[in-house]
């Protein structure tokens, strides 16, 4: 279960200019470094860039989820950039993104990454993020996506 501090408005920027994937990852790294964790923005950038080189984190619908692991974290931490113009994420055809959701995850393996990816992969989630005009609206869009993607308890 993701804690409420997983994503806060202070780690969200809307109407960001980025000229490249590298530029986007550097900006995302700065935001992620402002949250809990022990890594610097430079160390986070190296992790995000290394992960992107393994394979694109583009989910489709204009959203990418660059991510890495920080051994000092107990809970995942997220940051969001919504770009004024789509950014080419160097992953082949049609991979320009409008929104980057950066994640730093605890060292221990868990389902948090797949939970976030599954929630953000939904078309409604991508639309909500691409149209969020404030940091608060972006946080609300992610929370709503996570809630709608969560398995529902079935009473029998």
Pull the structure tokens for residue 100.
């980057």
Instruction: Report whether 106 contacts 73 (CB < 8 A).
Output: yes
* pLDDT above 90: residue 125: no
The answer to whether 67 is a known catalytic residue is yes
- What value does the mean pLDDT take over residues 136-156? 75
Catalytic residue selected from 67, 98, 103, 112: 67
d(CA 73, CA 82): 25
Residues 34-63 pLDDT 10s:
988 889 999 999 999 999 999 888 888 889
């Amino acid at each position: 279960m993701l804690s409420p501090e997983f994503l806060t408005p202070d780690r969200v920027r809307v109407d960001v200019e980025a000229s490249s994937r590298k530029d986007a990852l550097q900006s995302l790294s700065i935001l992620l470094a402002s949250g809990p964790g022990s890594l610097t923005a430079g160390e986070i950038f190296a992790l995000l860039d290394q992960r992107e080189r393994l394979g694109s984190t583009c989910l489709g619908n204009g959203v990418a989820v660059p991510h890495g692991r920080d051994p000092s974290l107990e809970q995942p931490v997220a940051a969001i950039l919504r770009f004024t113009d789509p950014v080419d994420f160097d992953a082949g055809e049609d991979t320009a993104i409008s929104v980057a959701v950066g994640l730093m995850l605890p060292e221990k393996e868990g389902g948090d990454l797949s939970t976030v990816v599954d929630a953000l992969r939904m078309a409604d989630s991508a639309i909500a993020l691409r149209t969020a005009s404030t940091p608060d609206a972006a946080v609300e869009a992610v929370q709503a996506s996570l809630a709608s993607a969560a398995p529902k308890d079935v009473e029998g």
